[in-house]
Amino acid sequence: MNNHHVKRRLDIKSHRKNLSLIRQEVEEVAEECGFGETDIYQMKVAVSEAAANAIEHGSPHGEENFIHLVIECDPDKILIEVADEGVFKARLPVTNGRPSHRGRGIFLMTALMDEVSITEHQEGTVVRLVKLKESAKDQEQRQQVPMV
């Protein structure tokens, strides 16, 4: 297990062609921080959803806007923040009274990550994704179990 602190920042144009660069950056940091293949895959899917939403909904000027990515890890977890320059609009995945194939990104992110938060600011929206390392999850669960 890697016990050092890693932090990277990436500011890129708001364009779908940059999604692979974002996934690659997350994968590199997560590997460096000692995460396993399954966790890395889950992070890449979650960050893809967050970044795709930022590109589609959080870039009022299209490719003139930027997506700001911060990836930070410590011995217990990795934190990934995806910030855009637009206004967050929560949408329910329903079309004509039936479930839609669109709007499921938030549900997917919450299923794959240990913590997900969305914060709106004047400058844009920040999606914060956290994945705990297995050792940190085990320790957290032990603290929640009452001693008999």
Please provide the average confidence, as pLDDT, over all residues in the chain.
Answer: 85
What span, in angstroms and rounded, lies between the C-alpha atoms of 119 and 58?
13
pLDDT at 121: 84
Q: Which long-range contacts (CB under 8 A, 24 or more apart) does 99-102 make?
A: none
CATH number for the domain formed by residue range(s) 6-89+100-144: 3.30.565.10
DSSP 34: T
Q: How confident is the model at residue 3 (pLDDT cuts 50, 70, 90)?
A: low
Note the pLDDT tens digit of each residue in 88-115.
665 544 455 555 555 678 899 999 999 9
pLDDT score, position 96: 55
**Domain residue spans of the chain:** 6-89+100-144
105, 49 contact by CB (below 8 A): yes
Percent of the residues in the chain that have a pLDDT greater than 70, as a whole number: 78
DSSP category for residue 96:
T
Give the three-class secondary structure for 50: helix
Contacts of 103 (CB under 8 A, 6+ apart): 91, 92, 93, 94
Please determine, for residue 17, whether its predicted confidence score (pLDDT) is greater than 60.
Answer: yes
Question: Stretch 9-25: mean pLDDT, rounded?
Answer: 96
